[in-house]
């Protein structure tokens, strides 16, 4: 229905107001100013105001689904509770042509009109010329928003590179100083470090949160602590929205510990509401599809199975592995696995060293040959020839010298497990302690459908 056709009947109108953070201070665009003028206009027309929807601090670049009040207003339109939408200017509503047409489909389906009070023109959506005019106005508004966004991006890029904060929001252990930079809060940094240490020992977010609450009186929720575990600002790195600065702020956690925690977190299973502890969660791996096996409890016996088969039918691994059988196998065969690993490591290290040396020798010999050709063809003088010849010859000679051995994995922790008398100590541990023990030394245990352990990997 057209706007002129509904002039003479009772109209239910909704007022929509949007301002960005910067615009709230501008006269005529503030929340109060827009609301006063919209209410006055509606009363002059004799319309009934059935709702006021305000999206404060929402820029024109925000996508529609992020404008909560706008979405709430559309829901009222879908319930046929509004006849007219009223706003000050077209750019208060949209700065995107595609967004405009998506919303127009909803309005037309529910016979809801719209009107602006400051643009000075009446918009006619029933003619091709009217629709073209709206498209032009929206395209200009969208271009202005895009240009604003580009300018803001440049400013933000510069701030990140210079270590300047973008907002006043800070993680738990940081604050903004007078220079607009982040600095550590000593007492809170100590709590964060203790939390990382405890998480490494327990491998449990829930247990760590409980420990911090009981020790320091700080009550974190699961989501907050999870964000803290993965926040690169803990190691001084800013890495968000395509912006990166490796020295953005002081580090509270060492890079080595942060990486270890990320590895632990990625291997941990989903939170288990039942509170049951599965010793090999995140360690047992299906040989057929290489997905982690999932623990379950039946008649007081702990099992692990491949959900790629049982839930998705994507794997042939249809047998479950008993936890106690895996434990027994480890104690019987860990010594053999350590020896196999060490032999394999020595062979692979020697092969890598031999291959690398061969490639380097061939490269240096080619360079010496090329150098001689350049000198023979008078392309370089004798001084350059001698200087490069000495450099390449020295590098070639160094390859023939004994090379330092690669650093191997430290298996001292595993050796303790297979030492005499350790089984008695192990049997006295809680299930949480057993899980922490295995996760600290084993990266994965591969098991096939016949319940044979086909291989293990150490950290």
Three-state DSSP state, 59: coil
Digit-coded pLDDT (tens) for 290-321? 999 999 999 899 999 998 888 778 899 999 99
Q: What is the pLDDT of residue 433?
A: 85
User: Is the confidence at residue 26, as pLDDT, over 60?
Assistant: no
Looking at every residue in the chain, the average pLDDT score rounds to: 81
pLDDT band at 386 (very low <50, low <70, confident <90, very high): confident
Region 173-189: mean pLDDT is 92
Asked if residue 64 lies in contact with residue 99, where contact means CB atoms within 8 angstroms, the answer is yes
Q: Which residues contact 170 (CB under 8 A, 6 or more apart)?
A: 176, 182
Asked if residue 199 lies in contact with residue 208, where contact means CB atoms within 8 angstroms, the answer is yes
Interatomic CA distance for residues 44 and 31, integer angstroms: 20
Helix axes 255-267, 222-230, angle to 10 degrees: 130
Q: What is the pLDDT of residue 221?
A: 83
Three-state DSSP state, 262: helix
Q: DSSP character for 429?
A: S
User: CA-CA-CA-CA torsion for 418, 419, 421, 425, nearest 10 degrees?
Assistant: -60
Kindly report the number of other CB atoms within 10 A of residue 326's CB atom: 21
User: CA-CA-CA-CA torsion for 88, 90, 96, 100, nearest 10 degrees?
Assistant: 100
Q: What is the pLDDT of residue 9?
A: 61
Domain 3-148 has CATH 3.40.50.1390: yes
Residues facing residue 52 across a β-bridge: 15
pLDDT band at 336 (very low <50, low <70, confident <90, very high): confident
Interatomic CA distance for residues 15 and 6, integer angstroms: 17
pLDDT band at 128 (very low <50, low <70, confident <90, very high): low
Name the pTM for this structure: 0.44
Closest to 44 in 3D by CA, of 106, 115, 100: 115
pLDDT band at 63 (very low <50, low <70, confident <90, very high): low
Across 108-112, 272-276, 424-428, 444-448, least confident range: 272-276
Q: How far apart are the first and last CA of the chain?
A: 71
C-alpha distances (whole Å) from 403 to each of 190, 354, 396, 398, 399 are: 42, 11, 13, 9, 8
Q: Where along the chain do its domains lie?
A: 3-148, 174-252, 325-401+408-458
Asked if residue 444 lies in contact with residue 438, where contact means CB atoms within 8 angstroms, the answer is no
Asked if residue 162 lies in contact with residue 218, where contact means CB atoms within 8 angstroms, the answer is no
Digit-coded pLDDT (tens) for 230-265? 999 999 999 988 888 999 999 999 999 999 998 888
User: Is the confidence at residue 206, as pLDDT, over 70?
Assistant: yes
């Amino acid at each position: 229905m057209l706007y002129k056709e509904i002039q003479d009947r009772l109209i239910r109108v909704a007022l929509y107001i949007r301002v960005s953070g910067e615009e709230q201070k501008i006269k005529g665009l503030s929340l109060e100013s827009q609301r006063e003028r919209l209410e006055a206009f509606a009363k002059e027309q004799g319309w009934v105001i059935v709702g006021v929807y305000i999206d404060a601090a929402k820029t024109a670049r925000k996508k529609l689904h992020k404008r909560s009040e706008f979405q709430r207003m559309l829901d009222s339109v879908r319930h046929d509770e509004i006849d007219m939408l009223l706003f000050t200017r077209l750019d208060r509503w949209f700065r995107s042509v595609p967004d405009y047409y998506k919303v127009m489909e909803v309005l037309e389906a529910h016979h809801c009109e719209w009107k602006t009070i400051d643009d000075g023109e009446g918009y006619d959506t029933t003619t091709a010329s009217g629709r073209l005019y709206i498209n032009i106005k929206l395209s200009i508004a969208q271009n202005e928003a895009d240009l604003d966004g580009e300018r803001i991006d440049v400013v933000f890029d510069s701030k990140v590179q210079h270590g300047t904060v973008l907002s006043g929001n800070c993680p738990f252990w940081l604050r903004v100083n007078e220079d607009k930079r982040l600095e550590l809060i000593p007492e809170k940094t100590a709590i964060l470090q203790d939390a990382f240490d405890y998480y490494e020992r327990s491998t449990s977010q829930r247990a760590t949160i409980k420990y911090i609450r009981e020790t320091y009186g700080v009550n974190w929720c699961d989501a907050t602590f999870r964000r803290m575990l993965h926040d690169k600002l803990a190691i001084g790195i800013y890495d968000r929205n395509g912006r990166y600065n490796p020295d953005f702020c002081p580090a509270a956690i060492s890079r080595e510990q942060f990486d270890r925690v990320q590895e632990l977190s990625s291997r941990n299973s989903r939170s288990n509401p039942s509170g049951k502890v599965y010793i090999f969660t995140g360690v047992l791996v299906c040989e057929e599809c290489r997905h982690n096996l999932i623990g379950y409890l039946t008649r007081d016996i702990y099992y692990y199975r491949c959900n790629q088969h049982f839930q998705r039918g994507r794997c042939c691994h249809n047998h479950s592995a008993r936890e106690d059988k895996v434990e027994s196998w480890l104690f019987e065969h860990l010594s053999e696995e350590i020896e196999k690993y060490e032999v394999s490591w020595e062979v692979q290290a020697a092969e890598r060293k031999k291959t690398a040396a061969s490639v380097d020798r061939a490269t240096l010999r080619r360079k010496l040959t090329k150098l001689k050709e350049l000198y023979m063809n008078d392309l370089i003088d004798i001084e350059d020839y001698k200087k490069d010849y000495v450099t390449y010859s020295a590098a070639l000679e160094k390859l023939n010298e004994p090379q330092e051995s690669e650093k191997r994995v430290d298996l001292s922790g595993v050796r303790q497990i297979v030492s005499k008398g350790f089984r008695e100590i192990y049997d006295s541990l809680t299930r949480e302690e057993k899980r922490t023990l295995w996760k600290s030394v084993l990266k994965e245990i591969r098991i096939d459908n016949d319940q044979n352990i086909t291989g293990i990997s150490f950290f």
